[in-house]
Structure 1
Amino acid sequence: MTYRAANSRYERMQYRYCGQSGLRLPVISLGLWQNFGGTRDYPGAMEILGYAFDQGITHFDLANNYGPPPGSSEELFGQVLARDFRPYRDEMIISTKAGYNMWPGPYGEFGSRKYLIASCDQSLRRMGLDYVDIFYSHRYDPNTPLEETMGALAQLHRQGKALYVGVSSYPEAQTREAHRILKDMGVPLTIHQPSYSILNRWIEEDRTIDACEELGVGIIAFSPLAQGVLSGKYNRGGASEGTRAENTNTTLRQSHIAPNVLEAVDRLGAIAERRGQSMVQLALAWALRRKEMTSALIGVRTLEQLKDNLGVLDNLTLSDEDLADIDAATREGLMDLHPKPTGWLR
């Protein structure tokens, strides 16, 4: 049966400008890390992707290494584009990234021109696209001159392979320098994608969020649910059935479900209940509370999870009392993410 997008797809979603650019993103974007790829069949993927688009989620975020196995998320998304989404391509923002290990040898990861250009070309082939809307440097590479990494992004932009360019998990100083280098090349740094949640506030401590506001760079937060810790599925007795901790996800450390963290989560649950929201909805509303935040990037395994996430659209406003209570609830439960940009993130 041929997919037809819902006529009502733009009635509920909110859209925000990405920094000082003309690009607008939905406040909820869908990431295809871990939950799409070789472990997902086409009907299951299309059920979630089609529903997301019907609800106004126009931004789909990928990376070359997303899967598992690496590359399979882009391949599966490419199939969806070819079979169902092709008529709607111009309504979509499709992003991908490069920075993590993809192939053997010295040219298969980090931030060299060689790696980034080859990675973008491979991603375009996997998805069957002529261009992506956003292409990111997935992580800062301290061993490659930033001029080379940003030069590769500028080249892809000028070639029309990326309409916008961004960085992910860059600290404040490197964000400023990346912006300066790109500006000198006549290419704007449009977007930054850091991890950010109630339990993970490194971009506030590092002042990366302030730098982005000053420079006019949009921000899209990944892991706003702290790798599922803020989903309400964890408790002081351990992980619930079917959670990422149970599935031995290496990005979720035991310290991230330590007793002090889970105690904070329990207190947050009480605040969410008082507001008539799920824990997920409270966490997303908090991540989106600041004017600098363009979008929150979610990842889901089921349609029910997607619907729960989208429920935040019914109540995005947090009062001063709510914010004070959230800070009090998490004072002893913030995650230890040092070194912040390069530790457990991906």
Structure 2
Amino acid sequence: METRKLGRTDIDVSPIGLGCMQFAGAENYTRLIIRPIGQETATSIVRAALDGGITWFDTAEMYGKGRSEQALATALKECGVSPGQVAVATKWTPYLRTAASITRTIGDRLAHLSGYPVDLHQIHLPVGSLSGIPAQLRAMARLARSGQVRAVGVSNFSARQLVLAHRVLAAEGLTLAANQVRISLLHRNVERDGVLAAARELGVTLIAYSPLEGGVLTGRFHDNPALAGSAPPARRFFSRKVLSAQGLARTRPLIEAMRGIAEGYGATISQVALNWLITRYGDTVVAIPGASKPAQAAEAAGAMGFALTEAEVGRLDELSLT
């Protein structure tokens, strides 16, 4: 199985990981984005991901105040995975907190993960903290130097903020491993806002969240537009432009092209969308689709089983920008 380094660290990950927001439980804002699932289903999803070759999992403090971390740890144990056999990424929530809470709350992260180490600890957002970004990065650096986390990353950082984070960590003798940002065939802002260029120059991995654009890039809403009304509220809001009748009509040529490509590989539309991400941007980008069913995790893992040709990537490039 091909692996990629997280930035310039020694952490190897599969090109496709598993996003674990759906493990947060029902008593959390995440229910507005994705339907929560129980532990039995979570364990089945993790097992399917592992069986498909996925070697890392992304969660966050914000996902149910640690419930997602706990559910992931329970699932890994139930699947017979020992600490260190897979990589785990999590995130610190900055809202109305100072940088000091990064060091104060690392014990909670480790407790919720029940012995699974934090391979990548990320600042969830560049806004909301009572401390500046440099102070936050220096606190993260202290955790890395003490061995409480293996590597430091950020999430939703702009190109300017990415450069700043890299510079602060470099002064601490560390490297910035990753920046988690929204990237998909229907959201290619990183190519225009400088984030992709900065990441490549600095050797930082971009972790693509929402790689299937809330399910739009599976083709199911194109096949049955009525399903759009049943999507969780926040998903309907964030994807409103593409879930509208006009948006679905505009993106239908892209979906149909993906359907044709998928047939040639014995794959699915969503697998083509994921493969485009990990092929189009090379080693710079890895992706973390979520899964609410084991079959979806297996399908996501299957996206690593083929490689689109340069011509196929180019064709999807053209259609995704129209």
Q: Equivalent residues in 2 for 1:298-337 (5 A)? A: 298-320=289-311, 322-332=312-322
What residue in structure 1 maps to residue 9 of structure 2?
21
> Which structure dedicates a bigger proportion of its chain to helix?
2
**Structure 1 residues 203 and 51: CA distance shift in structure 2, 3 A:** same
Of 184, 188, 205, which aligns to 2:175?
A: 188
Matched-pair contact (CA < 8 Å) for 1:172–1:206: yes
CA distance in 2, matches of 1:301, 1:130: 22
Distance 1:134 1:309, change over 3 A: same
The residue correspondences of 1:217-256 to structure 2 (distance < 5 A) are: 217-235=204-222, 238-240=225-227, 246-253=230-237, 254-256=240-242
**Residue type at the aligned position of 1:218:** T
Return closer, same or farther for 1:211/1:158 CA change in 2, 3 Å cut-off: same
* Distance across 1 between alignment mates of 2:78 and 2:104: 26
Q: Which has the higher contact order (CA 8 A, sep 6+)?
A: 2
1:189 Cα offset (Å): 0.6
Aligned equivalents of 1:308, 1:131: Cα separation in 2: 27
Identical pairs, percent: 25
- Partners of 2:198 and 2:17 lie apart in 1 by 23
| TM-score after normalising by structure 2 | 0.86
Q: Deviations over 1:107-140 (max 9, x none)?
A: 3xxxx31332233322211122373111001111
Matched residues, number: 305
Residues 48, 295 of structure 2: 8 Å contact kept:
no
Q: Relative to 1, partners in 2 of residues 1:24 and 1:257: Cα closer, same or farther, differing over 3 Å?
A: same
AA of the residue aligned to 1:281: Q
Determine the C-alpha separation between the residues in 2 that align with 1:288 and 1:199: 15
CA distance in 2, matches of 1:153, 1:83: 30
Query: What residue identity is the alignment partner of 1:139?
Result: L
Is 1:61 matched with 2:61?
no
Residue 165 (structure 2) aligns with: 178
Unaligned runs of 5+ in 2: 27-35
Cα shift at 1:84: 4.0
Q: 2:184 aligns with which of 197, 204, 215?
A: 197
Deviation at 1:288, TM superposition (A): 1.0
Equivalent position of 1:98 in the other structure = 92
For the Cα contact (< 8 Å) 2:73–2:114, is it kept in 1? yes
TM-score (normalizing by structure 1): 0.81
Deviations 1:185-209 (A, max 9, x none): 1111111111100111111111111
Distance 1:227 1:247, change over 3 A: closer
* SS across alignment from 1:219: strand
- Unpaired runs of 5+ residues, structure 1, are 1-12, 333-346
